[in-house]
Chain A
Amino acid sequence: NAGVTQTPKFRILKIGQSMTLQCTQDMNHNYMYWYRQDPGMGLKLIYYSVGAGITDKGEVPNGYNVSRSTTEDFPLRLELAAPSQTSVYFCASRLGGVNQPQHFGDGTRLSIL
């Protein structure tokens, strides 16, 4: 059981480039989330999805876009990379139900230079 898989694990981008961070889960979870983690700041929610075709903004959505065409996949798109987007990005998923925990991938470490 792979759980939540994120690719790539590391990436260096130049300012203004675009890229897509991939996230896929094999647990048939309806809920999926994208976070960014910066030192000393905890995790901040970027976007989330409650099911295929449904997405919504989190706390820090500016500069990012998402789509959810299937239950399994929830890619995060950076259109015009900026140094402020240097961070570690985590994808998570969970079952429905208010007390269900989120399951996390191992993260993508992204540097914008």
Chain B
Amino acid sequence: AQSVTQLGSHVSVSEGALVLLRCNYSSSVPPYLFWYVQYPNQGLQLLLKYTSAATLVKGINGFEAEFKKSETSFHLTKPSAHMSDAAEYFCAVSGGLTGGGNKLTFGTGTQLKVEL
């Protein structure tokens, strides 16, 4: 069984400030972790993924995430927020070979607001 918890359904930051979106996971097998972004009226786009090759993962648009096994976390960060980062962000976990179809379990999402 696997699950994802995203702390904070809404996060607001000032333009140029650090962005930190939290994700904690639970998985009975070594997890594969993903962050997706969803802009209004669009589908989800992959930001980055963790696949055990490196604990610090760099993604698109300046985002990165660090896998911490001891904390079961995969928090998403960006040093300096831009207005264009305003969107909803989803953390997701895959249980690898278990579960058939390598299904993803999604968190409930965090809406990021960027203010001037």
Interface residues of A (CB under 8 A from B): 4, 31, 33, 40-43, 45, 48-50, 56, 58, 90, 92, 94, 98-107
B42 in contact with A42 (CB, 8 Å): no
Query: What is the number of residues of chain B that contact chain A, defined by CB distance less than 8 Å?
Result: 25
A104 touching B101, Cβ below 8 Å: no
A56 touching B102 in the complex, CB below 8 Å, given contacts A40-B108, A90-B43, A107-B43: no
Taking A31-B101, A42-B108, A104-B44 as contacts, is the C-beta distance between A98 and B90 under 8 angstroms? no
The answer to whether B100 touches A56 (Cβ under 8 A) is yes
Given A43-B106, A98-B32, A99-B51: A106 touches B43 (CB 8 Å cut-off): yes
Provide the residues of chain A in CB contact with B94, threshold 8 Å: 98-99
The interface residues of chain B lying within 8 Å CB-to-CB of A98 are: 32, 94, 96-97, 102
Q: Are A102 and B104 neighbours in the complex by a CB distance under 8 Å?
A: yes
Q: How far is the CA of A48 from the CA of B97 in the complex (A)?
A: 15
CA distance A103 to B34 in the complex (A): 12
Kindly state the separation between the CA atoms of A31 and B94 in the bound complex, as whole angstroms: 14
A42 touches B103 (CB 8 A): no
CB of B106 within 8 A of CB of A101, answer no
Which chain B residues lie closer than 8 Å to A56 at the CB level? 100-101
Q: Which residues of A have CB within 8 Å of B45?
A: 104
Is B101 within 8 A of A48, CB to CB? Answer: yes
Interface residues of B in 59-116 (CB under 8 A from A): 90, 94, 96-97, 100-104, 106-109
